[in-house]
Amino acid sequence: MSIPPVLLKSDELFGEDRSEGLYDKSREISRYLLMHYGEPTDVFDRSSHPLAAAHGYPGRLSRMLEEAARATGTRVADMLDVGCNVGGVTHALSTWVADRVVGVDISPRSIEIARALTRGRGGSFSVAELGPFTRDIVLTLPEPAGRAAVEFEVGDAGALRGTDGGYDAVLLSNVLDRVDDPAACLAQFSGPAGILRGGGLLMIACPWSWYPEFSHPGVWLGSAHDRTSSAQALEQLMRDGYDLVAEQDQPGVLRQNPREYDYFEAHVTIWKKR
């Protein structure tokens, strides 16, 4: 039996971190590994924790898309997960997608870790406890047999590489409010030469959590000036080329330490391209 790779050591959590991008930093990598792959007992110290229902975001997102594909009769053989980070949603999608799921992220370290844990079918990583303490977690991926192939690559959501004929489905989870031009990012999937094939599904999950550090307020979807919400602005951009097939709110939780959590509620829509 092979020893699982060490994805993130405890001394990396509290040391000086010179990584350039936010999502390359050790603390963020640890938080996303826990959110994407952690069991409820890894995340919470008690089953009655008030945020327990927000656990399992990757699996819920994947099941929602699987259900939409079934309901609309869309065969999904080849799909793209944009802004995949350490790849937990990519792996969840591989349980039902027919052939291949490609995860793309601009953070080289996230992609390196996603690849390492895919090769090693798991790995160990450290999470912050209270004060100076850390805890090691070992994650194990199920055997790949019967699942779609999973690939990861470094790439920019604003300049995506397509495939012959376009992907059957594309996921943008919590990334539209992180790219520098959200409307231009969405435009890549429209039209006949798009990255998404005609009849394909585009799933957009976003808490609409805008910050000027990521994009100029002038390009945010929605506007206080004409009293348009982000969800309304999205609908306006999508209405000419897509039919809405599902809409839900999906909660998720990122753990900072046992006494501090970031809770979010993504607005999730699934669109079928005409």
Ligand X SMILES: C[S@@+](CC[C@H](N)C(=O)[O-])C[C@H]1O[C@@H](n2cnc3c(N)ncnc32)[C@H](O)[C@@H]1O
* Binding region for ligand X (CB under 6 A): 23, 83-85, 105-107, 110, 156-158, 173-175, 178-179
- H/E stretch holding 170 reads strand 167-173
Minimum separation from the CB atom of position 174 to ligand X (A): 4
Query: Position 145: which residue type?
Result: A
Minimum separation from the CB atom of position 268 to ligand X (A): 11
Query: Residue 135's CB: how many other CB atoms inside 10 A?
Result: 12
Q: Which is nearer to ligand X, 93 or 137 (CB)?
A: 93
CA 39 – CA 94 distance, rounded (Å): 19
CA 234 – CA 246 distance, rounded (Å): 14
Query: Pairing relation of β-strands 260-273 and 242-257?
Result: antiparallel
Q: Which is nearer to ligand X, 126 or 173 (CB)?
A: 173
CB 255 within 8 A of CB 127: yes
Q: Which tokens is 227 given? A: 């009293």
Minimum separation from the CB atom of position 131 to ligand X (A): 27
Q: Which is nearer to ligand X, 156 or 199 (CB)?
A: 156
Q: Which is nearer to ligand X, 150 or 157 (CB)?
A: 157
CB 108 within 8 A of CB 115: no
Minimum separation from the CB atom of position 260 to ligand X (A): 17
Minimum separation from the CB atom of position 169 to ligand X (A): 15
Position of minimal CB gap to ligand X: 83
Q: Which tokens is 134 given? A: 């850390």
Minimum separation from the CB atom of position 45 to ligand X (A): 22
Q: How many angstroms from the chain centroid is the CA of residue 169?
A: 14
Q: Which is nearer to ligand X, 199 or 214 (CB)?
A: 214
Q: Which tokens is 268 given? A: 């999730």
Minimum separation from the CB atom of position 15 to ligand X (A): 21
Q: Which is nearer to ligand X, 228 or 237 (CB)?
A: 237
Minimum separation from the CB atom of position 183 to ligand X (A): 14
Q: Which is nearer to ligand X, 23 or 271 (CB)?
A: 23
Sign of CA dihedral 121, 125, 60, 210: negative
CB 196 within 8 A of CB 162: no
Q: Which tokens is 95 given? A: 């349980």
Q: Which is nearer to ligand X, 133 or 154 (CB)?
A: 154
**Exposed e or buried b for every residue in 80-115, given b needs 16+ CB within 10 A?**
bbbbbbbbbbbbbbbebbeebbbbbbbbebbbbbbb
Q: Which tokens is 34 given? A: 């826990």
